[in-house]
A and B are shown apart, each in its own frame.
Chain A
Amino acid sequence: MTLPMGRAMREAFGQTVSELATSNPRIVMLDADTGSSTKADIFQKAHPERYLQMGIAEQNMLGVAAGLATMGFMPFVSTFVPFAVVRPLDQIRVLIAQTGLNVKICGGYAGLFIGATGKTHLVVDDLAIMRAMPGMVTVAPADDVETGQALRWAATYEGPVYVRLVRDATQRLFDETYSFAPGRAAIVRDGGDVTLISTGSQTPRVVDAAELLAARGIQAYVLHVPTLKPLDVPGIVAAADRTGVVVTVEEGTVIGGLGGAVAETLSEHRPTVVKRIGLQDVFGESASNSELLELYGLSAARVADQVQAFLEARVTTDHASNSMPLPQLGRVR
């Protein structure tokens, strides 16, 4: 049994921010020529006078957002993750994070589902980058329901927020009884054999993986972490205490992202062996969504297999003595 499909997060984004702007005249939308893809166009149709096309010039766009915020506006800045986070990173750092200005950075086409556009558009380290930025609330919703709630919360919060949004429809994890809160992780499944911690739209696949494991006699506790900052430290420690064995799973690099955050937290509060599933210090490539999930071990079946192998290896060996390989350079394979 697998979780059902929901709406695409980008649809929830366009719809929710449009609704928020109906009651809040200070909300504006800034777009870098990707509105027909990110669904900022939904906002444009509803509020044309507050939709600001900034052209293909993202560094300036983030600066304009900062200026608008000083004038009492609440800018939602929308484009693809590489151009919302990585390209204008110094503008975010100096004009938005250091000032604490009220800008919501909405990174579309997050994670692996980028329409097969390849490594330039597939950002593996946005969560690591934004989580490391002082003062930046970093949100990776699981599904369309949580996306809507997280955006509604962001509009009540005075300060910079990064929200990671997926292009394609993903599985729905939550029903309307769910309530998002920053810094609060959600226990989405109980089990005593292994703790699986995930974030973003990877969590539904981890829940599916837990069902596969259950069929093999392994009961997994699954914790969904929607905000990498603020991080639910007590929730992560309690999740580790529940089973004593922790596996993190994320749709991005394991360095500095969720895996990094969990390892940091547990080494400080509850030293625990942590296996980190995700991209292992590599960039992405062009392929279908399902091919990418297989390639990086993030499909439900591949997650289940890796967790099972990890648990079996723990029984027979102590610590793996893996030496770190040299970084893989960008050559043709």
Chain B
Amino acid sequence: MGVAVDAADIALLEDVARGIRVGIIRGVNEAKAGHLGGPLSAADILAVLYFHVMQIRPDEPDWPDRDRFVLSKGHSSIGLYAALALRGYFPVEELLTFDTFGSRLQGHPDMTRLPGLDMSTGSLGMGISAGVGMAIGARLSGLAARTFVMLGDGECQEGEVWEAAFVAARYRLDNLIAIVDYNKLQQYGWQGEGPDDRLPPAWPGELAAKWSAFGWRVLEVDGNDITAVVGALEEATVGDGRPVAIIASTIKGRGVSFMEGRYYWHTRPLTAAEFATAMAELGEPVTSPEGGAA
């Protein structure tokens, strides 16, 4: 949008990202299930999208002119739910129903249950295709709406991603912005030197080269640096006839020291002690012995 940002805005967005991380930890801890590493790596990008970039109306989730967001890496749903709750789509306390029977907050995003979701996702590689459809639809409808799609770097192993990339460039969809959460780990991956070492899903430079070769305008950014993410997204929304891929380099598990860069925190329940440590690191120390949030 080209809205000027100052230090106070950045501080606010950083606090939103912290709030998203708190929501992730609380939701997954309560459910004793769900993903951690991927949602945590994406939290800063989600904060900037939902609190700075996207034109949306939380009190009118189906507003036709709204910008669209598709979480193609649908297993990071709790991160999106936390962003939506903080933005006012539903009460923050509902995050504690995540993944439980009857909840609107399904394990993977279900647009038929929760207002504010522009697409159901969870089977990897598909969200970007839906995003292409939304971008074509916006153009055919004469809408200024932009479509943002977040993918994982592991997800880019799916062939459908490149089918979509090809078609988006062919249609010159500069109203489509893909953000790759390049956290350099996938669920299990290829083993590296030690038993807990894993090779990244894509080598350094590989994703940028691929998206560029498919005809996309590529921006590379530190995806855990709010100021940098703001700059990249603002640059991305100035169209030049090409779809835009932002390769956002992140740290999987970002914000919780013992999760950062460790593949096995992709999805794993927390012990009470781990929960307490995580919450303390995020600035919301646990006070009750049951592990409820302060």
User: Interface of A with B (CB < 8 Å)?
Assistant: 28, 49-50, 52, 54-55, 57, 59-73, 75, 90-91, 93-95, 98-100
Determine if B118 is an interface residue (Cβ-Cβ < 8 Å).
yes
CA distance A55 to B214 in the complex (A): 14
If A95-B119, A99-B112 touch, whether A59 touches B130 (CB-CB below 8 Å) is no
Closest CB of chain A to B131's CB: distance in Å? 6
Q: Are A55 and B166 touching (Cβ within 8 A)?
A: yes
If A55-B166, A70-B118, A94-B122 touch, whether A64 touches B140 (CB-CB below 8 Å) is no
Between A and B, 28 residue pairs with Cβ closer than 8 Å are A49-B140, A57-B164, A59-B126, A60-B132, A60-B164, A63-B128, A63-B133, A63-B164, A67-B70, A67-B129, A67-B131, A68-B133, A69-B133, A70-B111, A70-B118, A70-B119, A70-B130, A71-B137, A71-B138, A73-B140, A75-B133, A91-B123, A94-B120, A94-B121, A95-B126, A95-B129, A95-B130, A98-B110
Question: Nearest A residue to B68 by beta-carbon distance?
Answer: A70
Determine which of B68, B120, B166, B167 lies in contact with A95 in the assembled complex, contact meaning CB atoms within 8 Å: B120
Interface centre among A55, A60, A66, A70 (most CB of B within 10 A): A60
CA distance A50 to B126 in the complex (A): 23
Closest CB of chain A to B174's CB: distance in Å? 16
Determine which of B64, B129, B141 lies in contact with A60 in the assembled complex, contact meaning CB atoms within 8 Å: B129
Closest CB of chain A to B68's CB: distance in Å? 8
Determine which of A64, A72, A99, A100 lies in contact with B136 in the assembled complex, contact meaning CB atoms within 8 Å: A64
Q: Are B137 and A67 touching (Cβ within 8 A)?
A: yes
Determine if B159 is an interface residue (Cβ-Cβ < 8 Å).
yes
Q: Are A71 and B126 touching (Cβ within 8 A)?
A: no
Q: Are B167 and A99 touching (Cβ within 8 A)?
A: no
* A49 contact set on B, CB distance < 8 A: 140
CA distance A93 to B126 in the complex (A): 11
Q: Are B167 and A65 touching (Cβ within 8 A)?
A: no
Known: A55-B163, A63-B160, A95-B126. 9 other contacts (CB 8 A): A49-B140, A57-B163, A60-B129, A60-B167, A64-B167, A70-B118, A70-B137, A71-B133, A91-B129
Closest CB of chain A to B224's CB: distance in Å? 29
What are the 9 tightest A-B residue pairs by CB atom distance, in nearest-first order?
A67-B133, A63-B129, A71-B137, A60-B163, A57-B163, A67-B130, A64-B133, A68-B133, A67-B134
Q: How many A-B residue pairs have CB under 8 A?
A: 110
Closest CB of chain B to A101's CB: distance in Å? 9
Determine if B32 is an interface residue (Cβ-Cβ < 8 Å).
no
Determine if B125 is an interface residue (Cβ-Cβ < 8 Å).
yes
Q: Are A57 and B167 touching (Cβ within 8 A)?
A: yes
Q: Are A28 and B170 touching (Cβ within 8 A)?
A: no
Question: Nearest B residue to A71 by beta-carbon distance?
Answer: B137
* B68 contact set on A, CB distance < 8 A: 70
If A55-B167, A64-B132, A100-B112 touch, whether A72 touches B123 (CB-CB below 8 Å) is no
* A63 contact set on B, CB distance < 8 A: 126-130, 132-133, 160, 164
Closest CB of chain A to B208's CB: distance in Å? 21
CA distance A332 to B140 in the complex (A): 51
CA distance A32 to B129 in the complex (A): 14
If A59-B125, A70-B119, A95-B119 touch, whether A65 touches B159 (CB-CB below 8 Å) is no
Q: Are B129 and A70 touching (Cβ within 8 A)?
A: no
* B132 contact set on A, CB distance < 8 A: 60, 63-64, 67
Q: Are B137 and A94 touching (Cβ within 8 A)?
A: no
* A90 contact set on B, CB distance < 8 A: 123, 126
* B64 contact set on A, CB distance < 8 A: 72
CA distance A68 to B129 in the complex (A): 10
* B166 contact set on A, CB distance < 8 A: 55, 57
CA distance A98 to B121 in the complex (A): 10
CA distance A66 to B120 in the complex (A): 10
CA distance A71 to B137 in the complex (A): 6
* A50 contact set on B, CB distance < 8 A: 140
Closest CB of chain A to B55's CB: distance in Å? 15
Q: Are A68 and B126 touching (Cβ within 8 A)?
A: no
* B118 contact set on A, CB distance < 8 A: 70
Closest CB of chain A to B92's CB: distance in Å? 26
Q: Are A72 and B129 touching (Cβ within 8 A)?
A: no
Question: Nearest A residue to B164 by beta-carbon distance?
Answer: A60
* B159 contact set on A, CB distance < 8 A: 59
* B135 contact set on A, CB distance < 8 A: 67
Q: Are B140 and A66 touching (Cβ within 8 A)?
A: no
Q: Are A55 and B140 touching (Cβ within 8 A)?
A: no
Q: Are A98 and B129 touching (Cβ within 8 A)?
A: no
Closest CB of chain B to A87's CB: distance in Å? 11
CA distance A93 to B123 in the complex (A): 10
Interface centre among B126, B133, B147, B160 (most CB of A within 10 A): B133
CA distance A320 to B131 in the complex (A): 55
CA distance A67 to B127 in the complex (A): 9
CA distance A72 to B110 in the complex (A): 18
Question: Nearest B residue to A62 by beta-carbon distance?
Answer: B129
